[in-house]
Amino acid sequence: MRNFASLVILIILTNCSGGKSNLKNAENETIKAFDIDFNWGEGGPNGFAKPGLWADANPADHVNWYSALGCNVIQSFAVSCNGYAWYKNGIVPEQPGLKYDFLTEEVRLAHQKNIKVFGYFCAGSNTKWGIEHPDLSYGIPSSPHIPFTTQYLDYLCASIKDAIEKTGMDGVFIDWLWNPGTTMEPYPPLQWLDCEQVMYSELTGQQFPGKDKITPEIEHQFRRKAIDRCWKRIRETVKNTKPDCIIWLTSCQLTSSDIAGSDMLREVDWVLNEAGDIATTELVRNMLGPQTRLVTCLANWNGQDPAKVIPAAIKAKVGLYGFTKPVNGSMMPPVDYYLSVPVDSLKGDARNIALLARTYNNLPFDYCKKTE
């Protein structure tokens, strides 16, 4: 394994053009990203974290952890799925009890280490929105539940603009840009709420024909048009607010018929294959624009083997990303822990982190740090 890992290191060094560059000159640097995920946790009305969980998160501790991991990109949070913000004095109420101006400080501290920071937004799910707008939502499940009405898009895009201006973040990370129901095909039929019937007229220029007249093909075209309108609103907002702000789309099913061949995949700056499999990563290349950077994902839910995915991604010049919810308060164990034990003694997200830590720090897979 040592010889193979040494080859991996050589490729990384070649791709990184001699090490860390400054933020403005890092366009071609290998993407080495991670996310300590604030979305999922106990206490909320669904699977999402209750508002205020991890509100004491210290941005300095987080930046230092990501830096030790070897990241040049932090996927952080502007607004998490519970609908509350991770920065202060915004148009979206902050997480109750938020101790620090978390995202704003995280950006400031990360920039001192030449690390980019992306703020998270979930397009298709927001518990706070669902509770406050029951007529514009399929309830508040921890799955996509928000039709992309003009009212919601106005709210989402105002939130994005506000976060960019107030925090100075480098990019916007967009999750669950899906119609209500689920993130994976086959999709359940739409409910055709009154607000969706209005959307139908807006998107097609025709009067809603009645639920009994909706065929699978009519619904399919509506679904694509709804996503396309949402995407175009997001893109216009981001680029008008900060032209060099990066839009990073994450998708668990890049081959979905709702988005395959879409303008979104051709226009987005970065795209994450959250499923993480090598086959999909290669398959979607011809659907992306010439400027779009492709990133693959390592997380326990997708069941990918990091020992296979990492070298394949590096060889193909695909960026790397991992995520997991915190286990020590708002944090993870120290990076030294992951570097001081054999990777094969770990499982799940711990093994993913251990191999990413070695890769991001140009160390062989079989490296073990000596402890005193």
pLDDT tens digits, one per residue of 124-144 = 999 999 999 999 999 999 999
The DSSP letter of residue 331 is: B
Res. 115 pLDDT band, cuts 50 70 90 = very high
Residue 7's pLDDT is what? 40
SS3 state of residue 171: strand
Q: Which residue has the higher pLDDT, 281 or 266?
A: 266
> Whole-angstrom Cα distance, residue 239 to residue 250?
18
pLDDT at 8 over 70: no
Amino acid found at 164: I
Could you read off the pLDDT of 40-69 as tens digits, one per residue? 999 999 999 999 999 999 999 999 999 999
CA 271-277-278 angle, to 5 degrees, is 85
Which pLDDT belongs to residue 26? Answer: 53
What would the two tokens of residue 8 be? 């991996």
Share of the chain above pLDDT 90, in %: 91
Tally of CB atoms within 10 A around 60: 11
Task: Decide if pLDDT at 166 tops 50.
Answer: yes
In a 13 Å sphere around the CA of 219, the CA atoms on its Cβ side amount to: 15
Q: What is the mean pLDDT of residues 93-108?
A: 98
Give the per-residue pLDDT at 6.
41
Model pLDDT for residues 324-366, shown as the tens digit of each residue: 999 999 999 999 999 999 999 999 999 999 999 999 999 999 9
Angle, to 10 degrees, between the axis of helix 2-15 and the axis of helix 348-360? 60
- In the prediction, which pLDDT does 3 show? 45
Per-residue pLDDT at 176: 98
What is the pTM assigned to this prediction? 0.92
The whole-number pLDDT of residue 28 equals 76
Q: Model confidence at 27, in pLDDT bands (50, 70, 90)?
A: low
Dig out the tokens for 206 from the structure: 């025709």
Other C-beta atoms lying within 10 Å of the C-beta of residue 18? 8
3-state secondary structure of 172: strand
Rg (CA), the chain: 21
pLDDT at 116 over 60: yes
Q: Report whether the peptide linkage leading into residue 186 is cis, meaning its omega lies within 30 degrees of zero.
A: yes
Residue 335 phi/psi, 5-degree rounding, is: -60, -35
